[in-house]
Structure formats: C-alpha cells, structure tokens
Amino acid sequence: MNVLSCSINTLKGLYDISGVEVGQHFYWQIGSFQVHGQVLITSWVVIAILLGSATIAVRNPQTIPTVGQNFFEYVLEFIRDVSKTQIGEEYGPWVPFIGTMFLFIFVSNWSGALLPWKIIQLPHGELAAPTNDINTTVALALLTSVAYFYAGLTKKGLGYFGKYIQPTPILLPINILEDFTKPLSLSFRLFGNILADELVVVVLVSLVPLVVPIPVMLLGLFTSGIQALIFATLAAAYIGESMEGHH
Amino acid sequence: MANMMMSSYKAIITSSSSTIPPSPRFKLSLPQIPFPKLSLPKSLKSHNPLSLPSNLKSISVILASSLVIAPPSLAEEIEKASLFDFNLTLPIMMAEFLFLMFALDKLYYSPLGKFMDERDSSIKEKLNSVKDTSSEVKQLEDQAAAIMKAARAEISAALNKMKKETQLEVEQKIGEGRKKVEAELQEALASLEKQKEETIKSLDSQIAALSDDIVKKVLPVSN
C-alpha cells in the first residue's frame, strides 16, 4: 500500500493533468442567458488556427506551390472531391459549407486530442474539444438541416415538398420523421464519439499513465478524423439528396 | 462508468440536486480516488457524508453498493441536466460557424480555388498548344521537304541548262576550230596546188632543156 501510494504520488502531476470533469461547464452570464465559456474559448482558438494557417498559406499563391500551399490545395481538392461525389455537378456553391464543416470539426476534434488544454485551469469545468459539447454538435446539425432545406427550396421551389410523398404518400410520416432524425443522428454521433473518446483516454491514463493509452489516443485521432469526414460527407449527401430531381 | 454513477449519486445526496448550473453537480474524478482529501472540490468535501476512505478495497465495496442502490433514473436525470445542457452557446456556435464559413470562403476557398482553376486551365492551354506545334512541326517539315525538292529541281535544271550551254559553246568552238582548220587546210592545199603548178611549169621548161640534153647525150653518134 505504501509502495502504491508512493508511486501514485510521483505520478500525481500526470493525474492532475488527466482529470476529467464530465458535464461541468464554465458558465458565463450574458444578459439573462448562460453560455459555456470553455466551449467558446476553444472554438475561438480553433477558428484562429484555421483562419491564421489559411491566411499564411494562401496569402501569396505560387504557380509551383510551396509546402504549406500544397497542403491547403490538397485539402481543398479533397473537400471539392467530397462535395462533388455527394452533390454532383452543381457542387460549387456548397464547397464553403462542406469544407468549413469538415475543417471545423476536424480541427476541433484534433485540438481536443492534441492541444494541452488541461494546462489552463478554469474555475469550473475544463477546456476540451468544442465538439465535446452538445451545443456545438446540435448547432452544426441544425445548420446542415437549414442548408439542405435551402438547397432544395432554391433548386425546386415549393416543388421540393413533393419529395415527402415520394414514392408513395404512405411514406409521408417516415419522410417527415427523417427531417428530425437527420440532425439528431448527426449531432449525437459526433458528440458521443468525441466525448467517449476523451473519456476512454482519460480513464486509461488514470489507470495506466504510461505507454498503454497511446494506441487508444492514436485510435482517438483516427476516430476524430473519421467523424469529421462522416459529418461533412453526410451533410453533403443530404444537400445533394434534396437537390437531385425525383422522377 | 461505475465511478461516474457513484459520484453522480453522491452529488445528489450532498448538494441535494441543486439546479444552479455553476455548482458542481456532477463530477468524474477517477484519478483522484487514491487521495480524495487533496483534490476533491471543497463543496463536495465539506458536505460529503460518505467521506471517501483511502483504502481502495473499501472504495470498491462502496462503489459496488452504491451501484446497486443508485436509482438509475435519477442518475440519468443528473447526467442529462449537465451533459445535455442547451443554452445560448448553441446560437453562438451557429454564428461562429457561419462567420468561419464566410471568412474561410474569402480567405481560402475562393482565392485558392480560383487560382487552382486558372492554373489548370493555363496548363491545359499550354498542353493543347504543344499538341498543335507537333502538327506545325510536321507542316514545317513538309514545307522544308518541298523547299528541298524545289531547290533540287532548280539545281538540276540549272545544271542541265549549264551543261547544254557549255555543250553548245564547246560545239561552237569545235566548229570554229574545224572551220579554221579547214580554211587553213584549204589554204595549204591551194598553196600546194600553186606550188605544184609552179613546179610543173618550171619542170616543163627544164624538161625541154633536159630532153635536149638527153637527146644530145643519147644521140651523139648521129652528130
């Protein structure tokens, strides 16, 4: 017991860093409303990272791209590819939406895994990936819903609502239900995955602080990337679905 | 998970499920289990009737018992209240996302996309122009061959012409020479004839004298 406490004492610093507080928020009061300060802070950092790196890399584009520009060109090609496969030939105007969806979620997820947020102490709660908070994921999912409604309505006018009775009017309730399940599944998938990933890493770190959590952390990075891709791809798929003609 | 449940259960007991959000309603503090006195939040610690023993074994016993006792519905409610806590953060995140979308579009997607498209089209243009030059090269080669052919024909024509000219000249010169020779020949012949006649004439006169001499010599007797 003595030995155990000793070894634990030496690793106390690690424990302190790895502590997790689920469902605790750093509340800010704005008027009569409350906001989750930790989510806003991390999202600002993520936005700053994205805008800063994009500005630096794309400021002065070269015909033969430099390393940074090459990377950003690759990312843009990737986003365009995703949008094109899901939306079709009219993907152009949706590249900013899909791309920002992907980049924001991706950088958020990876910031939660890679940036040492725990160094900064908050009075309540702790800094983590912005996608760790249900507000963020629901916000993104609702924006996706708005986006695909907008896409369908601008493309087909009120005829867009004809898809609810396609292929038979019997499916009307299910088609309406889909509009609720889409944002629900989008937001909860992202939220659950990121939160679960961080929890698993924290629990493992608290049990075995060295080496063992590393594969799980790598798996977490992989999952984070996949989740960002899934969210962006599904958003593009929904937009494409509402834009395509129903025959 | 068990720890989460336990601590949430404890939180219910201690803070009597206060609805003020800033108060720590639910806390997962797995790593701090071995030394709860060091790291437990003050509010929890002060009100905690089930102060955590430092013995791991007893913790596990309590953990198991609390797991059994814990009403799952209540724990769920607490979890929901803190995890699924919707407030002004949601619209703010929406606004932030839209801002990021427009900013990235202005900074990244539009300029770089335009630049890439322009570069692609220019490369394609250049490639096409290269393909065109290959036909141009062929055309030029044909042209060169035609020029060569024409030049060769010209040269051979000039050669023939020159040959003919020189032949004519040569023939002319030969003719001239021949005429000259003939004229000289004629002249020579004429002079020869003249000489012959002269010699014949002179011979004729001499013949008379000679024949007289011969007759004198042959016929002395008769004298």
| Portion of chain B with pLDDT greater than 70, in percent | 61
Whether A105 and A229 have beta carbons less than 8 Å apart is answered as no
pTM for this model (two decimals)? 0.63
The segment with the largest mean pLDDT, out of A165-169, A192-196, B59-63, B161-165, is: B161-165
> Residue A104: which of B22, B32, B97 has the nearest Cβ?
B97
Mutation target to probe the A interface, by most A beta carbons within 10 A, among B108, B117, B123 is B108
Whether A224 and A197 have beta carbons less than 8 Å apart is answered as yes
Predicted confidence at residue B44, as pLDDT, reads: 41
Question: Residue B89 and residue A8: Cβ atoms within 8 Å?
Answer: no
> Residue A8: which of B34, B96, B105 has the nearest Cβ?
B34
Q: Say how far residue B12 (Cα) sits from the centre of its chain.
A: 72
Alpha-carbon gap, residue B37 to B43, rounded angstroms:
12
Whether A128 and A115 have beta carbons less than 8 Å apart is answered as no
Question: Residue B94 and residue A133: Cβ atoms within 8 Å?
Answer: no
Contact residues, chain A, for B25 at CB < 8 Å: 23-24
Question: Residue A21 and residue B34: Cβ atoms within 8 Å?
Answer: no
Mutation target to probe the B interface, by most B beta carbons within 10 A, among A14, A28, A35, A69 is A35
Give the count of alpha carbons within 13 A of B73, CB side only: 0
Q: Which residue from A minimizes the CA distance to B27?
A: A21
Q: Which burial class, exposed, middle or buried, applies to B62 when counting CB atoms under 10 A from its CB (0-12, 13-18, 19+)?
A: middle
pLDDT at A156 over 60: yes
Stretch A121-136: mean pLDDT, rounded?
Answer: 81
Question: Residue B90 and residue A202: Cβ atoms within 8 Å?
Answer: no
pLDDT at B5 over 60: no
* Residue pLDDT, tens place only, A25-74: 777 888 888 888 888 888 999 999 999 998 888 888 787 888 888 888 89
Confidence class of residue A155 from pLDDT cuts 50, 70 and 90?
confident
| Beta pairing partners, A36 | A27
The segment with the largest mean pLDDT, out of A60-64, B150-154, B206-210, is: B150-154
Contact residues, chain B, for A96 at CB < 8 Å: 101-102, 104-105, 109-110
Alpha-carbon gap, residue B187 to B189, rounded angstroms:
5
Predicted confidence at residue B16, as pLDDT, reads: 39
pLDDT at B146 over 90: yes
Q: Tell which wins on pLDDT, A123 or B81.
A: A123
Predicted confidence at residue B32, as pLDDT, reads: 41
| Portion of chain A with pLDDT greater than 90, in percent | 25
Alpha-carbon gap, residue B41 to A122, rounded angstroms:
13
Going by C-beta distance under 8 Å and a sequence separation of 6 or more, which residues neighbour residue B168? none
Average pLDDT over chain A, rounded to an integer: 83
> Residue A21: which of B27, B94, B105 has the nearest Cβ?
B27
Alpha-carbon gap, residue A134 to A136, rounded angstroms:
5
Contact residues, chain B, for A80 at CB < 8 Å: 113
ipTM score of the complex?
0.84
Q: Which residue from B minimizes the CA distance to A71?
A: B112
pLDDT at B10 over 60: no
Distance in Å, alpha carbon of B49 to nearest chain A alpha carbon: 21
